[in-house]
Structure 1
Amino acid sequence: MSGTLNCECGFSAVIKNGILIGPSGEISKYDWPDIERNCYRLMNPTLVSYMQKAYHWLLDRLGQCDMDGKVILEDFVNNYCFCHANFEEMPSKALYIISDKYPEIVAIYKGLIDKLGLEQKVLYIAAASDMLPLKDGCVDMYIDFDSANEYALYHKGYSTEALARYFHSESRAIGSFFSFKPNSSAEKELHRQFPESWEHSYDISYFKRYLRSAWANIIDEESIGNVTDSNTDEKASLYHIPGEVGMDVYFAEGFRKKEQKTL
C-alpha cells in the first residue's frame, strides 16, 4: 500500500494508497485530468447506447480468449475506463494493469473498483506510458477504449506506439475507435481546442490501415454507428458540435515490432 522503488537504471517511484506513482513524463499544456468525468457526464444519449453495444461486443470477443494467468493492460483511462464498467463480466484469473499519467485519475478508478469487491487482481500505475515499470513483452492483451484517440491529441501517432515494448508477437488488442467525418465542424473544433492534435486523430480510414500495419491479424471489426444529433447540453465529446461522430470496434492479434511495420 505504501513504499518506494528505486532501480539501478534510474527509475524511481513511490507507492501511495496502493498506487504505484512514477514519472509522468512531459505533459501538454492542453492536457488535464478530467476529475469531473465530463467525458461520461456530457455524453449524447445515442453515444451512450453505442457505448453499451461496444461493451457487449468487446466482452464477447474477450470471452473467446483463454486469459487465465495472462496480463491485461488498459492505459490512458483519463477519458474512459472499460475495465471499471465491465469487471464483473471479465476473466477473474487474469492480472490487470490500469494506468494513466495522472495519479488523481487512477485514484478515482481504484476507489470505484475497490468498492465492487471483485476477485480480480489489479495493479494500479500512474506514470507516463513509455515509463511503466513493466518487463518488456509482458502484456498479453491490450484494451484500447478510445486510447488511440486520446494519445493522438498530443502526439503524432497512436497509443500502441507508446506501449510497443510491452507487447510480444502473440499479444492481442481489443478496442473502440471514435471518428469524425472528414472536414466536419466537429473535426475543426477538435483541432481548435487541441492544436497539437495529429492530423490523423479521429481518422477511421487511416486507423484501419494502421491496424493492419501494426497487427498481423485483424480477427474482427465492426462499425457500431454514427452520432449525428447533439446540442449544447448533450454531446458525443467535449469538442463535438452538430455533425457526424462514428464509433468502430476491433479485435486484433500478433503485434508487429517496429522494424517490421509498414504503412
Structure 2
Amino acid sequence: MLHVNLLFLPNQQKVLSILKLFAKLRKDSGKGGKPTHGEGMKIGQVAQRYSISRDNLYYYINYGLLVPPRMDKQYVFDDETLNDLERILELKELGFTLAEIHHILSLFRISDMEKTGFREELRVIYAKRRRGCQEEIAHLERISDVLSQKIEALSTVDTSEYRRTGLPLSMLGLIQCPHCKKSLAISNVTMDTEYIFEADMDCQCGYHADVCDGILLTPNRYEGNDDTPDVHRLMYKDLPAGMISLFQSAYNFMKQEIDGVNLSGKIVMESYINAWFFLYTHQGIFDSDGRYIIVDKYPETLAMYKALMERENYHLPILYIADSTLDLPLCPSCIDVNIDFFATNEHNFYRRSFFYEELTPLLKPGAWIIGTYFYFENGWRSMQKLLSQYPKCSDNNFSLQYFLKMANESGIDIDKKEICGPSIDSGNNIGFSFHQKGEKLYLLPYTAHCALPGRMG
C-alpha cells in the first residue's frame, strides 16, 4: 500500500502526485503469482545467457519462431518465450530445419500435450527425422569406406618397376657448343642402349658441361638469392578457387590448340618450369613420337620432375637442361614448338630483355608457339611490390602493351588469343605474393609463330 500525505501540498503538486499514485497502482495491479512482462529478460541478456547472437534472436522473431511480448518498444523474454527458445535450440541440435521447427512449435502452441492426436503427430515427425538420420548415417558410412580406400591407395608405396631415364641418345645430335657451334666430345660415359646417365661433355674452345643422373648441367649456374628451387610445389598451394579457374580456362585453350597439331617428330621445348610446368601437368596430350626439351635454372627442380615423370611413364623422350640463361648448348633453329606458360613473365623477373629476343635463335622459321601471358590492368601497387621483392625485375613485366609490342619486334606473330579474368585476389599463394587485392590480373592464352628466320645470337 502506498501512503501519500496530500494535505500540505500545493494544488498542482497534489494533482501530479495523484496521477503518479494511480500510475503506480495500475502497474502494481498486474503483479501476482505469475511473472509480468517487466520481469522478463532483455534480448542482450538472453543472447549472453544462451550464447546466441542478437541477430539470430531477431531472425527467429521475424521468422515467427519466437513471439516475445513487448514492453516500452523492447522485446521482453518471459518464461514462455524462453521455453520456446530452449525448444528451438534443442530441435536444431536434432537436425530439424527452421520450417520443421516452426511447425513443431505451432503444435505445442495450439494443442494439448495430453491429446492423442497431438502426441501421434509429434511421434510421426520424430520418427521421420530418425529415418533421415539413419539414411544419412548409411550414406556417410559409404563415403567413409570410399575415403578409406583412397587413403589406403595414397598411403601404399608404389613398388612397381619403372625405367630410369637419362639424356636420350636420339637427342644427342641437338647438343653443341653455344659459343663455336661445334659438337661436344663425350668422355667418362655411363649409359645404356637408350640413355646417357653420366658424362663429361667438352669443346675444344674450353666449354664444358656435365651429364649428372641424366640431366645436362651447363656452366651457367644460377647464383642469385632472389629465388629457391620449388621442389615441394609450394607455388601450387593456397591458390584461391577463382585463380585456379582462370588457370583452367587458359589450360583449356592451350590443350584445344595442341590437340590440332601433329607433334610426331617435332622438337618441343618448355623453360622456366620452377614457376609453372604445363607439359608435366598435361603429359597425356603430348605425342610420344615427339622429342622434348625441359629447361630450368635449378637442377633440383629438374631432378624432382624427372623422378615424377619416370614413375608416371608417359614414354616421352626428354632432354633436361639445367641453365640459368637461354644461351643453351643447342643447335640454332632446332625448336619446332615452344611452350610458354608464364615463361615470358618469369624471364622478366631476372632480366630486362624480352624472352623471345633471346629465344628466337633457337626457333625454326615458322616455329609454332603456344603460351599464356599474365598481365595487370592498372596494377601500379602490385608492380611496386614486385619490383621491391625482385630488384632485377623489368618494370615492363605484366604489361600487355609491352608483350604485344615486343613480340612483334622480335618476329613473333600472334595468331590467336583469348582473355581470361580478371582475378582481383591471388590469396596467400607465394607465386603471386606481390598481387595487391583489388587490382585486376588477367591471363592471355595465345598461339603464335616465328615469322623471322632463326637468328644467331
TM-score by length of 2: 0.53
Look up the SS of the partner of 2:245 in the other structure.
helix
Match of 2:434 in 1: 239
Q: Give unpaired runs (5+ residues) of structure 1.
A: none
CA contact (8 A) 2:381 2:436 kept: yes
Q: Does 1:98 align with 2:298?
A: no
Match of 1:152 in 2: 348
Structure-2 separation of matches of 1:79 and 1:216: 23
What is the correspondence of 1:112-127 to structure 2 with a 5 Å cutoff? 112-127=308-323
Match of 2:163 in 1: none
1:84-115 deviations in whole A, cap 9, x for unaligned?
00011122211000111110111111111111
The verdict on how the C-alpha distance between 1:157 and 1:75 changes in structure 2, with shifts beyond 3 A counting, is: same
Structure-1 separation of matches of 2:221 and 2:242: 36
Structure-1 separation of matches of 2:298 and 2:426: 30
The verdict on how the C-alpha distance between 1:234 and 1:156 changes in structure 2, with shifts beyond 3 A counting, is: closer
- Greater shift, 188-197 or 142-151, is seen at 188-197
Match of 2:375 among 157, 161, 179: 179
Structure-2 separation of matches of 1:205 and 1:28: 29
- Greater shift, 104-113 or 39-48, is seen at 39-48
Give the C-alpha shift of residue 47 in structure 1: 1.5
- Greater shift, 204-213 or 106-115, is seen at 204-213
1:212-243 deviations in whole A, cap 9, x for unaligned?
23345322111111111344x35771322312
Structure-1 separation of matches of 2:379 and 2:421: 19
CA contact (8 A) 1:23 1:128 kept: no
Give the C-alpha shift of residue 26 in structure 1: 5.7
Structure-2 separation of matches of 1:201 and 1:241: 15
What is the correspondence of 1:61-100 to structure 2 with a 5 Å cutoff? 61-100=257-296
Look up the SS of the partner of 1:153 in the other structure.
helix
Q: Which structure features the higher share of strand residues?
A: 1
Structure-2 separation of matches of 1:216 and 1:163: 11
CA contact (8 A) 1:75 1:129 kept: no
**RMSD of aligned residue pairs (Cα, Å):** 2.0
Give the C-alpha shift of residue 7 in structure 1: 1.5
CA contact (8 A) 1:138 1:168 kept: yes
What is the correspondence of 1:1-263 to structure 2 with a 5 Å cutoff? 1-25=197-221, 27-215=223-411, 217-231=413-427, 233-234=428-429, 237-242=432-437, 243-256=439-452
CA contact (8 A) 1:129 1:163 kept: no
- Percent identity over the alignment is 27
Look up the SS of the partner of 2:416 in the other structure.
strand
TM-score by length of 1: 0.90
Aligned length: 258
Match of 2:156 in 1: none
CA contact (8 A) 1:149 1:158 kept: no
Structure-1 separation of matches of 2:311 and 2:451: 35
Look up the SS of the partner of 1:72 in the other structure.
strand
Structure-1 separation of matches of 2:305 and 2:384: 32
Rg comparison, structure with higher value:
2
Q: Which structure features the higher share of helix residues?
A: 2
Match of 2:127 in 1: none
Residue type at the aligned position of 1:143: I
Give the C-alpha shift of residue 37 in structure 1: 2.3
The verdict on how the C-alpha distance between 1:33 and 1:235 changes in structure 2, with shifts beyond 3 A counting, is: closer
Look up the SS of the partner of 2:326 in the other structure.
helix
